[in-house]
Amino acid sequence: MKNKKYISLQSILFLCLGIVVFSSCEREFSDEVQFATFPPNGDVFIDAFSPGLDYFPFVGAGADPEAFSVDSENVFDGDASMRFDVPAFGNGFVGAAFNTTVTRDLSGFDALTFYAKASQAASIDAIGFGISAETANKFQVTANNLGISTRWEKYVIPIPDASKLTEQTGLFWLAEGASFEGDEGGYVLWFDEIKFEKLGTVAQPRPTIFDGQELVEQAFTGSNIPITGLTQTFNLDNGVNQTVVAAPSYFDFSSSDVGVAVVSELGEISIVGAGTSTISALLANVRAAGSLEVTSSGSLQASPDPIHPAANVKSIFSDAYSDDTSSNFSPGFGGSTTDTKVTSTDNGNVLVYSNNNFTGIIFDNTVDASGLTFLHIDVYVQAPGVEVGVQIRDSGANQMIETDVNTGLPIGDDRDRRFDLTGLTAGQWTSFNIALDGDIADQKNNLAAIILTGGPNFIFDNVYFFTE
């Protein structure tokens, strides 16, 4: 068996790791130049690891590094299978990538296939291919909630556009945890005959961006909008429609007016001027359902000038004051879909939140607000109907933020103050002063975080505690 290697899940699951684009001199290559090619070997695990393959558990995110083994008793065909012992609920999860040092050309295949079974009926949270530090996950593919039965069956994960897979090292990955408290003993997953194949029966491609929705959004010069809801659906020979989440690099994005908006290979829309542009995409020359009509009014208007004397303020984020503490504006909570950027505008820096479900501003040092009475926030939205939930958190006497993972509410000696930012008008700033009262009134001396829910898109400026 191969030596185990360890990779942080955070470092490989996020798609936007950055790409270096090299420019070259304008010259023609001689017909005698030989370009490097890679073997078209589709095997991943056929009784043993294929050449160069190794096991990289996601230990940085809490995966059990000992969950994987090679099993010689439960096999579909041949002498061995892959075995994963899924821990009991609440005891971590199985998560790993299987990458090769022998780069493969997979452009001649149309699907990853394998046989699998489980000791009990199960639904694998996420499984696919394309996770690789070498390629920055440019061509990651994910099938979510793949149902596995207790008998050996063949499963197919189609390739969105095989022509782009000429230099691949990430051949297989999965992440799965027991999903309910009654599953006290965990269970076992087996995989066999894992390989890329040319089936010829993967048909009727139906790609989407923005989950197939025709969206309209306001923006400003200098802002960035991630393209979400990137999927590809195929019809398989058994009549089943299989949908996978496809990395942005599979798509060819276009902007109807590049003077207003441009789109990177990683699916990020950058607003570069005033006007209206429609963002659309092709995947393997098939028009993707969904689009975004984005209208930019130019530069973002300035937020209101703070009026409170610096002596009465402890700032978290504001150009008008020196911050009382540095903060983590992108804490990367598990399950969060939020993209947070500190964006520079003509009028200073602002916090831009996109696709938010929940995130937070985590203070590097607690803030003693015992002599202060309010939290001030300026909020700007570009669409009507946006509401943002704010939860001011302290860390209790033990200086630790303790949260009920099921409710998101404080536990132990922690307290909070919750408030909803409502009545927001699209295209203008709205100022809020949230009283530091209620449950947090007696524990203002060690404020530790501001948790944010809702949106999903909004902009913050001038986040600070103050007293009149």
Say how far apart CA 345 and CA 378 lie, in whole Å.
15
CB 118 within 8 Å of CB 187: yes
* Six-digit token string for 242: 């299989």
pLDDT tens per residue, range 231-240:
999 999 888 8
Say how far apart CA 355 and CA 82 lie, in whole Å.
37
Average pLDDT over residues 428-455: 94
pLDDT tens per residue, range 162-188:
999 999 999 999 999 876 544 556 899
- Amino acid identity of residue 285, one-letter, is N
Reported in sequence order, the residue ranges of 51-183 that DSSP labels E, i.e. its strands, are 53-57, 68-71, 81-86, 94-104, 111-118, 122-129, 141-148, 153-158, 168-176
Q: Which region holds residue 462: left if phi is over 0, alpha if psi is between -120 and 50, else beta?
A: left
Say how far apart CA 299 and CA 271 lie, in whole Å.
10
- Give residue 149's pLDDT: 95
- Give residue 21's pLDDT: 26
CB 435 within 8 Å of CB 466: no
Say how far apart CA 228 and CA 297 lie, in whole Å.
23
Using alpha carbons, list the distances in angstroms from residue 454 to 220, 332, 384. Answer: 21, 16, 13
- Surface-to-core class of residue 269, CB atoms within 10 Å of its CB (0-12 exposed, 13-18 middle, 19+ buried): buried
Report phi then psi at 415, rounded to 5.
-135, 165
Which residues neighbour 50 within 8 Å (Cβ) at sequence distance 6 or greater? 41, 43, 44, 100, 102, 171
H, E, C per residue of 161-179? CHHHCCCEEEEEEEEECCC
Say yes or no to pLDDT of 14 above 60. no
Say yes or no to pLDDT of 5 above 70. no
- Surface-to-core class of residue 251, CB atoms within 10 Å of its CB (0-12 exposed, 13-18 middle, 19+ buried): buried
Say yes or no to pLDDT of 454 above 80. yes
Say yes or no to pLDDT of 413 above 90. no
Say yes or no to pLDDT of 34 above 60. no
Half-sphere exposure of 116 (CA within 13 A, CB side): 25
Say how far apart CA 8 and CA 402 lie, in whole Å.
24
Q: Is residue 379 very low, low, confident or very high in pLDDT (cuts 50, 70, 90)?
A: very high
Say how far apart CA 250 and CA 246 lie, in whole Å.
7
Calculate ∠ Cα 342-296-286, nearest 5°.
Answer: 95
Closest alpha carbon to 438 in 378, 392, 390:
392
- Give residue 30's pLDDT: 45
Whose structure tokens read 């000429």? Answer: 166
Lowest mean pLDDT among 17-31, 150-164, 171-185, 411-425: 17-31
- Give residue 180's pLDDT: 59
Lowest mean pLDDT among 191-200, 216-225, 238-247, 418-427: 216-225
